[in-house]
Chains A and B, each alone.
Chain A
Amino acid sequence: MYAIELTDVFKQFNNFSINNLHLTIPMGSIVGLVGENGAGKSTTLHMIMQAIKKDSGTIHVLGVNNEADEFLEVKQKIGVVLDEAYYPETLTAKRIRIMLKDIYHAWDDAVFDHYMTQFKLPYNQVLKDFSRGMKMKLQLAVALSHQAELLILDEATSGLDPMVREEILDIINEFTRDERHTVLLSSHIVSDLEKSCDYIAFLDKGRLKFMEEKDGLLERYRILKVAPEEVNALTINRAAIKGQRTSRYAVELLVDKDALSSSDTIFGDLEKVTLEDVMILMTKGVKRP
């Protein structure tokens, strides 16, 4: 069962497009959406929430087509944390609570109060005087206070200090202890995703490069370092090379172990990769001789 299912989704902007995006988010998982700026992460999240309309394709969220009238009811079960708290800055947490109580049918004051206390947030201070970290925590408190089954976080940890990031990631992990709960989060901070995600989806220029289980991904790829003059002499399946980074003294190749054939000869060591390596090298691509 999928919490989110995108099939053949296409969206054209002036200088950018999301191309035939197929993406499935398994129920009960934490999925990290990575990609450089402008790769289409936020657009994808906004299309899922029907905040931006797609040109073609279908999107199902918690089993409902997001263009159907029933999707409004599904939205009641989705908690959203955006890259900024887009509430008018003259509002206080107390007033936001009063306002949202009417918008979310399952709003639970006790849960909100619990997170307000846990995050040490003031009720009567206007948002203008909140730090970025406080605003993000407030958004998270809101997202968790209406019995959400799905959390969508768009760059929620960007610009936050490590302590606050850690705190937010802990809450997200706690949320997915219930197997019906799912999290989809986009972030530039790949180490955050590496820490908490079960799956990684990598978007590059509006295309999905891969969506894989994180542990399998880190196991599957390796880095091969060779001298620049040795690159052309390599006797490995070229299709196994998924990206490369060239410096003056060495060339780092991102190698897909599964695509290597038994006859391939590897000179040198295959080093373990980080998620950041995979993302950067894949984005750079391969220079063919």
Chain B
Amino acid sequence: MKGLLLKDIFTLEKQMRVLLIVIVGFALTPASNMIGFTMIYALIIPISSFGYDERAKWDQLLRMMPIHGKTIVLSKYVLGYGFFGLISVIILIAQFVYHAFGYQNLSLVSYPVFLVNVIVMVLTALIAYAVLMPFIFKLGMEKGRLVFGAVFAIILFLTFPMSFFQIVSDGIFVSSWFIWILLLLAIVVNIGSIKLSQRFYSQNTHS
């Protein structure tokens, strides 16, 4: 799997440099309501790896290699998880530094609330990613993009009110069962998504 991840990182690094800078820029922004934007943007990068693969017809070569189909599918999920994790760490470190050095006035919420807010956004992004992936494995990147648009719109719709609530009620999620449900949902949806994508990938071998 390491080889596949390296290939994706090498491919994306060249092409996505500008987008990466934008995402890191978002992540470093003190305002907590930028997290939603950051995560939505962050979705684009791992998904776009499919676009580069399709353009190169990489899959034709990949299927000749000694790699199990399940590993091929899983590597795309790990790429996404790694990327969301990286962005989250950048956001958290940046916000920690703002708070530690007394720039709390830049942030709209206290650090613990901010931390919880990041968790909520990461989990939401993971669910969105998991919803989208089987469509891409089944339909390919082009048709998958349409689904991505729909997922994007839903996330946007959900993110704004959540950020608003979080801002006005400072701490509404901290002791809430909401996070636990979201976490459970993210785990269940991702496991189901991986299984489904692996099935779709295997079915494509028949064509």
Contacts and interface: CB of A to CB of B under 8 A. Distances in A.
Nearest to A11: B206
Interface string B55-77: 11111110111111000000000
Contacts of A85: 61
A76 B56 contact: no
A89 B51 CA distance: 12
B56 A86 contact: yes
A20 B58 CA distance: 30
A88 B52 contact: yes
Contacts of B14: 90, 126
B206 A52 contact: yes
Interface string B121-153: 000000000000000000000000000000000
- Most central of A46, A53, A84, A99 by chain B CB within 10 Å: A99
Nearest to B14: A90
A101 B63 contact: no
Given A88-B52, A88-B56, A95-B10, A103 B67 contact: yes
Given A99-B7, A103-B3, A87 B61 contact: yes
Given A75-B66, A98-B6, A101-B3, A86 B206 contact: no
A103 B63 CA distance: 12
Interface residues of B, number: 27
A90 B63 CA distance: 20
A72 B69 CA distance: 10
A103 B65 contact: yes
A179 to B, nearest CB: 24
Interface string A143-162: 00000000010000000000
Contacts of A88: 7, 11, 52-53, 55-56, 58
A73 B66 contact: yes
A86 B54 CA distance: 10
A1 B205 CA distance: 29
Given A52-B205, A89-B56, A102 B66 contact: no
Contacts of A102: 2-3, 6
A213 B28 CA distance: 69
Contact of B63 (A49, A95, A100, A126): A49
B176 to A, nearest CB: 43
A82 interface: yes
B15 interface: yes
Given A84-B57, A103-B3, A91 B11 contact: yes
Q: Is the interface of B mostly helix, strand, loop or mixed?
A: helix
A95 B8 CA distance: 11
A51 interface: yes
Contact of A50 (B53, B60, B205): B205
A84 B15 CA distance: 22
A4 interface: no
Interface in B10-66: 10-11, 14-15, 52-53, 55-61, 63-66
A104 interface: yes
A98 B64 CA distance: 18
B15 A90 contact: yes
B147 to A, nearest CB: 23
B66 A90 contact: no
Interface in A122-171: 126, 152
Contact of B61 (A72, A86, A90, A104): A86
A10 B15 CA distance: 42
Interface in A93-109: 95, 98-104
B207 interface: yes
Contacts of A152: 64
Interface of B: 2-4, 6-7, 10-11, 14-15, 52-53, 55-61, 63-68, 205-207
12 contacts: A72-B67, A72-B68, A75-B66, A78-B64, A86-B58, A88-B53, A88-B58, A89-B55, A95-B6, A98-B6, A100-B3, A102-B2
Interface of A: 46, 49-53, 72-73, 75-76, 78, 80, 82, 84-91, 95, 98-104, 126, 152
- What 7 A-B pairs have minimum CB-CB distances, sorted nearest first? A102-B3, A75-B66, A51-B63, A86-B61, A103-B3, A90-B14, A80-B64
Given A72-B68, A86-B60, A99-B3, 10 more contacts: A50-B63, A51-B205, A52-B206, A53-B206, A72-B66, A75-B64, A84-B57, A85-B61, A88-B52, A90-B15
